[in-house]
């Protein structure tokens, strides 16, 4: 601690005054809104004051400057104190705080990125630290810059497993530029937090996870200044013992006040009392400017250097084509990075790792944290991020994916081993819900490539598409069906088989597209012609191509998918054609929890193979003949 410069008395007074002002503005804003969490704001007032006006280096007029220290409010319900801080810096007008939670204000109930000083949306607890890890990893290993990352967590969210996934990640990668501040204010929403004020237990847990952990009085600006200026060689956890509702006599350390604004008369008297505590001080505190050493990054126009180099009829699994495409994209774009959850030799992201080891991040078997780290790596447009695992394992990170949508995050996810076509491993490994899951996220684009060429195009398009992108890849090897110069676009389907006299339109994707093509050859021998469509993207779906071609087959459509009935390709097609008269959609999909078996056996048993398609075509034609 030799290099610790103790703040002078005027600085200490100024920091205390700012803390008092943050409490006052948090109370004013929540009382004006008639809702919010003033007691959760009051426990962190000194922490926020010291962080933003003593420790952090940033340009308050330019919150997203690449060189700025980063701050994530993991306990997102304390948003009013964050807004109060930015009013104190002069970035927000103080009277704007009174519009908290109003429909025409950017100051929402929890932080969202329409506020320039917010990088990732928080409020679903337990997710801030994972995103902070992604930012810190980027700062240390990709940007090689001086900026630090600070994350403020509540004690309630320490019960979330995702917090400990992030703790393990940070220590494994020695993220000594990361500081987590734990607001141990003892009280949760409906009950005290499990460890209450046993701060030494939190300390032991953090130490067991490889962090340097220090206990402080969270209301002492001197102790906070001191601990935050310590040099570190590992991530730092500051365990701040605080009082929930500090400064509000009726609510201090009392249950029953969580998420409740103070009534107007109480707020007025509390504010009056707080104002009397503000000491006259001749010092105005300004944040220190950051070190300018994060080089500018442009993520525009991340392109493949050349067309795919597959030969027609050559066989390759789309999961392998994904790995090859990613490695190729990384060859010519330094800011493409890849993450995986210890499945790299199955998803084939290892092909990227082999070529670009310094841009590959192994996240181990912690999918929730992997998605949060991806969001952190992608924040402030520092990287083009691809994260991969089995499609089915993204289900356990659904809350993180949902929050990535709210965060307007540009992350690309690849889910391999979709459907029953993986075969012998059985249902625990089969992605059968993933299309439904991603279709429900407003910002998501879903690619479902069917061969090596379309997979490579999907990877390139995903890198340049805003929002969440999901690429669904399969385990079986299938033939190349597209020419290498074929042009692909988001929301543009391909007609891959047609004649001038087609009777039924069949829509398949991935494995089932190849089954549909085989069915077309079989039916041709019976003089039945079918038109086969590859949707390429399931969301957005190319409704126009589907409708135009189905009209040529008298509105007769069959969809076939290696996914459950609910929420997949069939339902997407039904939604697209719902207003068309005289259209019928016959859906083939997996109808129950599957089992182990050979891929072809399972496609047959669950009625999504070529024979099931030919049977469905005959049935559709018979029933329309009978209808006449």
Helical (H) or strand (E) element with 563: strand 556-564
For residue 628, the model assigns a pLDDT of 73
Percent of the chain, pLDDT > 90?
Answer: 97
Q: How far apart are CA 381 and CA 393, in angstroms?
A: 26
Give catalytic residue positions: 367
* Nearest by Cα to 260 from 538, 3, 35: 35
- Decide the pairing of beta strands 411-416 and 360-362: unpaired
Least confident of 27-36, 225-234, 545-554: 225-234
Segment 6-29 shows an average pLDDT of 97
Q: Which residues contact 259 (CB under 8 A, 6 or more apart)?
A: 35, 36, 37, 40, 77, 189
For residue 3, the model assigns a pLDDT of 55
Tallying the residues shown for the chain, one arrives at 628
Q: Is the pLDDT of residue 137 over 80?
A: yes
Q: Is the pLDDT of residue 395 over 50?
A: yes
In eight-state DSSP terms, residue 286 is -
Higher pLDDT, 313 or 469: 469
Q: Which residues contact 274 (CB under 8 A, 6 or more apart)?
A: 20, 23, 24, 247
Segment 348-360 shows an average pLDDT of 98
Q: How far apart are CA 416 and CA 434, in angstroms?
A: 10
Q: CA torsion sign, 423 to 425 to 426 to 429?
A: negative
Segment 577-590 shows an average pLDDT of 97
For residue 625, the model assigns a pLDDT of 83
| Beta-bridge partner residues of 559 | 507, 587
3-state secondary structure of 533: strand
Return phi, psi of residue 121, to 5°: -70, 140
For residue 246, the model assigns a pLDDT of 98
Q: Which residues contact 263 (CB under 8 A, 6 or more apart)?
A: 31
Query: Which residue, chain included where needed, has tokens 């499990």?
Result: 194
For residue 385, the model assigns a pLDDT of 98
pLDDT digits (tens, 9 = 90+) for 508-524: 999 999 999 999 999 99
Q: Is the pLDDT of residue 127 over 90?
A: yes
Report the greatest alpha carbon distance in the chain: 94
Q: CA torsion sign, 594 to 598 to 604 to 610?
A: positive
Q: How far apart are CA 347 and CA 369, in angstroms?
A: 18
pLDDT digits (tens, 9 = 90+) for 520-561: 999 999 999 999 999 999 999 999 999 999 999 999 999 999
Dihedral (Cα; 155, 156, 161, 165), 10-degree rounding: -30
- Mean pLDDT for all residues in the chain: 97
Cα Rg of the chain, angstroms: 28
Segment 361-369 shows an average pLDDT of 98
How is residue 83 written in tokens? Answer: 């807004």
How is residue 12 written in tokens? Answer: 């200490």
pLDDT band of residue 1 (cuts 50, 70, 90) is very low
Segment 63-84 shows an average pLDDT of 98
Helical (H) or strand (E) element with 346: helix 344-347
Q: Is the pLDDT of residue 2 over 50?
A: no
Q: How far apart are CA 178 and CA 152, in angstroms?
A: 11
For residue 386, the model assigns a pLDDT of 99
């Amino acid at each position: 601690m030799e290099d610790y410069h103790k703040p002078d008395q005027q600085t200490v007074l100024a920091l205390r005054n700012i803390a008092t002002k943050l409490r006052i503005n948090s109370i004013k804003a929540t009382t004006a809104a008639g809702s919010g969490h003033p007691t959760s704001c009051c426990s962190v007032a000194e922490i926020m004051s010291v962080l933003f006006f003593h420790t952090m280096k940033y340009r308050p007029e330019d919150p997203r400057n690449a060189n700025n220290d980063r701050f994530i409010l993991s306990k997102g319900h304390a948003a009013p104190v964050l807004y109060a801080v930015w009013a104190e810096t002069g970035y927000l007008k103080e009277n704007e705080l009174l519009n908290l939670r109003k429909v025409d204000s950017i100051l929402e109930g929890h932080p969202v990125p329409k506020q320039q000083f917010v990088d990732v949306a928080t409020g679903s607890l337990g997710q801030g630290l994972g995103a902070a890890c992604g930012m810190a990893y980027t700062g240390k290993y990709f940007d090689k810059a001086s900026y630090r990352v600070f994350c403020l967590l509540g004690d309630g969210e320490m019960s979330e497993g995702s917090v400990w996934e992030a703790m393990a990640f940070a220590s494994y990668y020695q993220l000594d530029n990361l500081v987590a501040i734990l607001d141990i204010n003892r009280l949760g929403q409906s009950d005290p937090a499990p460890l209450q004020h046993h701060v030494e237990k939190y300390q032991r847990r953090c130490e067991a996870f490889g962090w340097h952990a220090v206990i402080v009085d969270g209301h002492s600006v001197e102790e906070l200044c001191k601990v935050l200026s310590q040099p570190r060689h590992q991530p730092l956890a500051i365990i701040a013992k605080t009082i929930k509702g500090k400064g509000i006599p009726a609510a201090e350390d009392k249950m029953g006040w969580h998420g409740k604004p103070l009534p107007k008369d109480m707020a007025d008297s509390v504010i009056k009392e707080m104002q009397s505590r503000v000491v006259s001080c001749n010092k105005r505190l300004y944040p220190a400017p950051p070190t300018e050493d994060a080089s500018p990054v442009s993520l525009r126009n991340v392109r493949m250097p050349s067309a795919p180099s597959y030969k027609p009829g050559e066989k390759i699994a789309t999961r392998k084509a994904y790995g090859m495409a990613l490695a190729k994209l990384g060859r010519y774009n330094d800011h493409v990075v890849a993450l995986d959850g210890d499945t790299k030799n199955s998803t084939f992201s290892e092909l990227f790792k082999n070529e670009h080891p310094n841009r590959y991040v192994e996240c181990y078997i912690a999918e929730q944290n992997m998605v949060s780290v991806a969001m952190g790596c992608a924040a402030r447009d520092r990287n083009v991020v691809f994260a991969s695992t089995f499609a089915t394992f993204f289900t356990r990170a659904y809350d993180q994916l949902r929050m990535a949508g709210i965060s307007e995050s540009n992350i690309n996810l690849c889910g391999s081993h979709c459907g029953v076509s993986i075969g012998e491993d059985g249902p625990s490994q089969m992605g059968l819900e993933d299309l439904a899951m991603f279709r429900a996220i407003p910002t998501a684009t879903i690619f479902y490539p069917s061969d090596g060429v379309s997979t490579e195009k999907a990877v390139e398009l995903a890198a340049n598409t805003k929002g969440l992108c999901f690429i669904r890849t399969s385990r079986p090897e299938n033939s190349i069906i597209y020419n290498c110069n074929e042009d692909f676009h988001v929301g543009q389907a391909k007609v891959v088989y047609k004649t001038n006299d087609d009777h039924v339109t069949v829509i398949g994707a991935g494995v089932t597209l190849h089954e549909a093509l085989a069915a077309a050859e079989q039916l041709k021998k019976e003089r039945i012609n079918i038109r086969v469509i590859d949707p390429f993207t399931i969301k957005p779906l190319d409704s126009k191509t589907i409708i135009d071609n189905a009209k040529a087959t008298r509105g007769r459509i069959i969809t076939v998918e290696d996914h459950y009935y609910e929420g997949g390709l069939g339902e997407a097609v039904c939604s697209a054609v719902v207003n068309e008269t005289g259209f019928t959609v016959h859906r083939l999909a997996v109808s129950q929890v599957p089992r182990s078996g050979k891929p072809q056996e399972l496609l047959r048993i669950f009625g999504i193979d070529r024979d099931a398609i030919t049977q469905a075509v005959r049935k559709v034609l018979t029933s329309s003949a009978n209808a006449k």
